[in-house]
Chain A
Amino acid sequence: MTETTETIKTSTGRVLRTEEMVVNMGPQHPSTHGVLRLEVVLDGEIVVDVIPHMGYLHRCFEKHCEHMTSYQQVVPYVDRMDYVASMTNEMAYAVAAEKLLKIEVPERVHYIRIIMSELQRIASHLIAIGTFGIDMGAFTPFLYYFRDRERILELFEMTCGARLLYNYIWIGGLSHDLPPGFIEKTREFITDFKKTLKEVNDLLNYNEIFIKRTANVGVLPKDLAINYACSGPMLRGSGVSWDLRRDDPYTLYDRFEWDVIVGKGEMGTVGDVWDRNMVRQREMWESLRIIEQALASLPEGDVQKAIPKRIRPVPGDAYGRVEGPRGELGFYIVAEDSVTPYRIKARAPAFVNLSVINEISKGAMLADLVAIIGSIDIVLGEVDR
């Protein structure tokens, strides 16, 4: 591209031209969080245009689902979509499938699912904020957060044996009940984790340099966020109070006391990078509140009672959605008279949120672009599926 961005006339009337430079950010770049390729048009350090190129991690998830031998077989496969928040993916698929099959699951299953998905939300936000810190050049908070994420993974490992791809939440139930000692360990974790949250607030989120880097950067206005169908912390950071856990309660979220966090523009404008990051930070506190309440009132019961042996739904369709760490994660399932789904469509929040990048990063500096990508919190496994 050789367009001129500005024309400066010399005293003799000659026009000085400055040329734009096109650089490829990715697919191998340390801060694109995976294999995202951004075609960035730069005028010096100023970003003129950003064109995201996706598909490097495309694995034909939706097509694969049509060729399984049963509905249950899709569960381990949805794990691999958003691989840092697998529990949420399973949860979304289970919610959609149960809606399709009209299965009522026992209360204990609901409670355990809520505990698991809130733990997963914390684990995912820890990565989001930690890697965001790395993008800003602060390496240390990342490792503090990873240390605590490790403990969540240990809890998951205790429960279902896997640390990343769980295959835990099944249609109509769970693969295992909670192991003995889980509740105590979770409580211990909550107590310790609160200290880390405060520590990282001092170290990163309220650091003067960090605020300088993030406030008023990548501002996503309310209406733009809604027009682009952004969801999750991306939308709430722009000041829209919208959380599916409250506005479309899908399991038993309406039983718990907690608040929806929205960005208020404390350090700059509403919807800037700092706000989005802070929404994540504060949401972890709310997740802890939900977990504490769920642990206190965990009912007894059989977690596998409602699991159907063979699934052959009545032809029809269903859309189930949950509030994932990245936003609205939904599965639309179309069933025909068969044991396999006719069509599964996933609404991936990371993909939708990423689409706004061109709008909000124009005129920013190259370093800001890195901050913006970090604040969108994309997982390429989910963007490309």
Chain B
Amino acid sequence: METLLTILNEPAVTAVLLALLPLAFILVYALVVLYGEMKMAAHIQNRLAYMENGWHGTLQPFADMLKLLQKEDIIPAAADKFLFILAPYLVFVGTYASFAVLPFSSGYIGSNIDLGIFYLVAVSSLVVVGLLMSGWASNNKWSLFGALRSAAQIVSYEIPGVLAILGVVMVYGTMNMQTMTQMQEGGIQNWLILGGDLPLGQKLALIPFVFVLFVIYLISSMAEVNRTPFDLPEAESELVQGYNTEYSGMKFAIFYLAEYANLFLVSAVVVVMFFGGWSSPFGSFMNGPVWGGFWFVAKGMFFVFFNIWLRWTLPRLRVDQLMYVSWKVLTPFALVCIVAIGFIMVV
């Protein structure tokens, strides 16, 4: 970041440019993952998907985006106009603001604050307000159902998710995401999923609990981004399209963009917490600010892929089962892990 600051002398311009970097990333990433998801789904399902535009349909995401830009923007007559328009942007803002604390590489982090992951959890909750708003403002019963479901779901799953984060924070002793990553530097053996950079005895004791926390966070992150098997808020076979039933055109596209950005966000948190963030798996080999960016995005994309893979394989849970998993399975296990980790770290 310091190197960038010396190139640009005007602080205001620099700040804006730096803030726009994640946005540029989200836009490019959304196109890639839009294409990737369609292709992956197709290959899982024995189909071909896009084949016409460009080589193997690579230009199709651009066409899709242009189409959504051109579409008529319908606002239902009975809708609460102000909230209806505000909702998608609020959802996107919640996600985008969280990107500020993601350490993309050792040379770039939007805002290197000490409360990094705490800020991320807090700001990304703004999404719930947006979803609830969209469901209410649409004045459609199905949308309302979807919105209420998503509020219940996201709030419930934030608890095991945050408990998992808490356990991890206890190991690191910091909430700063950049520091977390730096503590895992030096090769794959220092990643938290393999016990972190700790003495061997402690490391071995830590591994099973960290692994459980990893699974808990992964599951609750899937629920937070409303992906199958937790896609109840937009379960199309039950609720038509859930909270975004009435949305069209660019507003719909923004919901979509926010969903994909959120998907990367939770994957990135998994990467920072358990898989060494931007640090190279080979120690100092292929390490550095630029390589760091590469590793970070590559690891993040792996978990994005994992999510997509599950989405096209599993059926959907029911509302009560969803709550059961959160409150009676994930939360107690997370609590046990926290106690155990606390014990290990003290001893």
Contact = CB atoms under 8 A, between A and B. Distances in A.
Interface string B313-325: 1111111110000
Nearest to A22: B141
Contacts of A138: 313-316
Contacts of B41: 139
Contacts of A368: 318
Interface in B185-241: 228-229, 231-232, 235-238, 240
Interface stretch (B44-52, B159-167, B285-293, B334-342): B44-52
Interface centre among B44, B228, B232, B315 (most CB of A within 10 A): B315
Given A143-B46, A212-B321, A367 B235 contact: yes
B145 interface: yes
Interface in B224-271: 228-229, 231-232, 235-238, 240
B312 interface: yes
B347 to A, nearest CB: 37
A23 B239 CA distance: 11
A307 interface: no
Given A23-B142, A137-B231, A139-B45, A30 B315 contact: no
Given A23-B141, A137-B229, A144-B45, A207 B315 contact: yes
Contacts of B315: 133, 136-138, 204, 207, 209-210, 213
B248 to A, nearest CB: 16
A370 B316 CA distance: 12
Chain B binding surface SS class: loop
Contacts of B229: 137, 209
Contacts of B238: 31, 366-367, 370
A257 to B, nearest CB: 33
Interface residues of A, number: 29
Given A134-B237, A366-B145, A140 B318 contact: no
Nearest to A142: B45
Contacts of A135: 237
A203 interface: yes
A21 interface: yes
A337 interface: no
A137 B235 contact: yes
Interface residues of B, number: 27
Given A137-B231, A144-B46, A367-B319, A30 B313 contact: no
Given A31-B237, A209-B229, A365 B314 contact: no
A21 B145 CA distance: 11
A210 to B, nearest CB: 5
A223 interface: no
A137 B47 CA distance: 19
Contacts of B142: 23
A209 B312 contact: no
A198 interface: no
A29 B240 contact: yes
B237 A30 contact: yes
A314 B237 CA distance: 51
A139 B312 contact: yes
Interface in A95-148: 133-140, 143-144, 147
Given A137-B229, A137-B231, A366-B238, A143 B317 contact: no
Contacts of A366: 145, 238
Contacts of B141: 21, 23
A45 interface: yes
Interface string B30-58: 00000000000100111100000000000
Interface string B295-318: 000000000000000001111111
B316 A143 contact: no
Given A21-B141, A23-B142, A137-B231, A212 B317 contact: yes
Nearest to A373: B237
A370 B142 CA distance: 14
A304 B142 CA distance: 55
Interface in B119-165: 141-142, 145
A147 B315 CA distance: 20
A140 B312 contact: yes
A337 to B, nearest CB: 52
A152 B333 CA distance: 50
Contacts of B235: 137, 367
A254 to B, nearest CB: 39
Contacts of A367: 232, 235, 238, 316, 318-319
Contacts of B145: 45, 366
B320 A207 contact: no
B100 to A, nearest CB: 34
Interface string A240-281: 000000000000000000000000000000000000000000
Contact of B318 (A29, A31, A204, A365): A365
A209 B317 contact: yes
B47 A30 contact: no
Given A30-B237, A370-B238, A140 B45 contact: yes
Given A31-B237, A31-B238, A365-B319, A143 B45 contact: yes
A140 B319 contact: no
A147 B45 CA distance: 10
B142 to A, nearest CB: 7
Contacts of B232: 367
Contacts of B312: 139-140
A140 B313 contact: yes
Contacts of A147: 46
Interface centre among A30, A203, A210 (most CB of B within 10 A): A30
A30 B46 contact: no
A209 B222 CA distance: 15
A209 B219 CA distance: 14
Interface in A331-385: 365-368, 370
A21 B148 CA distance: 14
Nearest to B236: A30
24 contacts: A23-B141, A23-B142, A45-B319, A133-B315, A137-B229, A137-B314, A138-B313, A138-B315, A140-B44, A143-B45, A144-B45, A147-B46, A203-B313, A209-B315, A209-B317, A212-B321, A213-B315, A213-B317, A213-B318, A365-B318, A365-B320, A367-B238, A370-B237, A370-B238
Please name the 3 residue pairs, one residue from A and one from B, whose CB atoms are nearest each other, closest first. Answer: A137-B316, A138-B315, A31-B237
